[in-house]
């Protein structure tokens, strides 16, 4: 069930993957007074998600928005919040980039597009809401990072950097915002079966479905967990890699296919 504190929930990246699964999880487990604000870039998929949530009896407001557009994000979030003070914001929108072979490279434009969405897009989502939550002295911010934040991988440099930056920011502001009654949760998913993971060229160990991941995140957010990392074995392995000498960790990741190889 949705907790009493989580009645007005905004989810970015709600048109697909974990975001869509989270929207449906809250709609299925919702209670009277639940209002979802769903944002995404793909109009057709977002409308399909909205239709499913409304069919479950949930009130939904939605918009086709790019989280990189700071002004548009602020306007929509402030308008939604004025009508339905946001209890929980889930900054989930994200994109990935992987090096498909050893001659592939993330030049500035490609790397910037990843960082602009994954990090600055999360800032454009969270910061306008945090301002209003601080005034109310209540609220919950969930930042969807990745276990890639725990240790960089050669196969996806910009993605790992953007997710590590998001985790670092969340860890940094958590104790500050706690003074104002605002909780911050950082979500660190492993491999989840989505369109994003489908194009990942490396091995996808301990793969979860989006529905399983959403149910897990839902439960842990209701429990006010500061960090939500899964699956356990993969998280343990990534934390261990971060403790090893860099050369040894690099070699292990290379053996696990997380190093782009030359095309044959």
pLDDT at position 196 over 80 = no
Digit-coded pLDDT (tens) for 129-141:
999 999 999 999 9
Residue 201 covered by a domain: yes
Report pLDDT for 165. Answer: 98
Residue 3 covered by a domain: no
Digit-coded pLDDT (tens) for 3-18:
446 899 999 999 999 9
Residue 90 covered by a domain: yes
State both tokens at 168.
């670092």
pLDDT at position 1 over 60 = no
Digit-coded pLDDT (tens) for 155-165:
899 999 999 99
Q: Which of 66, 203, 184 is nearest to 129 (CA)?
A: 184
Residue 67 covered by a domain: yes
- Please report which confidence band the pLDDT of residue 251 belongs to, taking 50, 70 and 90 as the band edges: very high
Least confident of 8-22, 185-199, 228-242, 247-261: 247-261
Q: What is the mean pLDDT of residues 234-238?
A: 95
Residue 261 covered by a domain: no
Digit-coded pLDDT (tens) for 175-194:
999 999 999 999 999 999 98
Average pLDDT, the chain: 93
Query: What pTM, to 2 d.p., does this model score?
Result: 0.93
Residue 182 covered by a domain: yes
Q: What is the mean pLDDT of residues 183-207?
A: 84
Angle among Cα 126, 200, 70 to the nearest 5 degrees reads 20
Residue span of the structural domain in which 21 resides = 8-255
Q: Which of 159, 148, 225 is nearest to 189 (CA)?
A: 148
CATH number, residue 249: 3.40.50.720
- How much of the chain exceeds pLDDT 70, in percent? 92
Report pLDDT for 3. Answer: 45
Catalytic residue among 26, 84, 120, 159: 159
Residue 263 covered by a domain: no
Report pLDDT for 259. Answer: 65
What CA–CA distance (Å, rounded) separates 65 from 72? 7
Q: What is the mean pLDDT of residues 41-64?
A: 98
- Please report which confidence band the pLDDT of residue 104 belongs to, taking 50, 70 and 90 as the band edges: confident
User: Is 84 in the active site?
Assistant: no
Give the chain's domain count.
1
Residue 74 covered by a domain: yes
């Amino acid at each position: 069930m949705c907790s009493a504190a989580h009645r007005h929930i905004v989810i970015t990246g709600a048109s697909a993957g974990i975001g869509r699964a989270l929207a449906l999880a809250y709609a299925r487990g919702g209670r009277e007074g639940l209002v979802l604000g769903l944002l995404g870039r793909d109009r057709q998929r977002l409308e399909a998600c909205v239709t499913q949530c409304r069919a479950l009896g949930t009130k939904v407001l939605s918009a086709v928005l790019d989280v990189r557009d700071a002004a548009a994000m602020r306007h929509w979030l402030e308008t939604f919040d004025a009508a339905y003070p946001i209890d929980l914001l889930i900054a989930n929108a994200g994109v990935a980039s992987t090096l498909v072979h050893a001659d592939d490279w993330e030049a500035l434009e490609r790397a910037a597009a990843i960082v602009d969405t994954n990090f600055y897009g999360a800032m454009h989502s969270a910061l306008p809401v945090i301002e209003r939550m601080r005034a109310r002295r209540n609220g919950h911010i969930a930042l969807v990072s990745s276990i890639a934040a725990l240790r960089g991988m050669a196969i996806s440099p910009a993605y790992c950097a953007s997710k590590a930056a998001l985790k670092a920011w969340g860890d940094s502001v958590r104790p500050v915002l706690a003074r104002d009654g605002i909780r911050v949760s950082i979500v660190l998913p492993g491999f989840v079966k989505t369109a994003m993971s489908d194009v990942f060229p490396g091995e996808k160990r301990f793969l979860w479905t989006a529905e399983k991941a959403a149910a897990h995140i839902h439960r842990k957010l209701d429990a006010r967990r500061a960090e939500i990392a899964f699956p356990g074995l993969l998280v343990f392995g990534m934390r261990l890699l971060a403790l090893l000498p860099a050369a040894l960790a690099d070699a292990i990741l290379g053996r696990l296919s997380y190093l782009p190889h030359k095309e044959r």
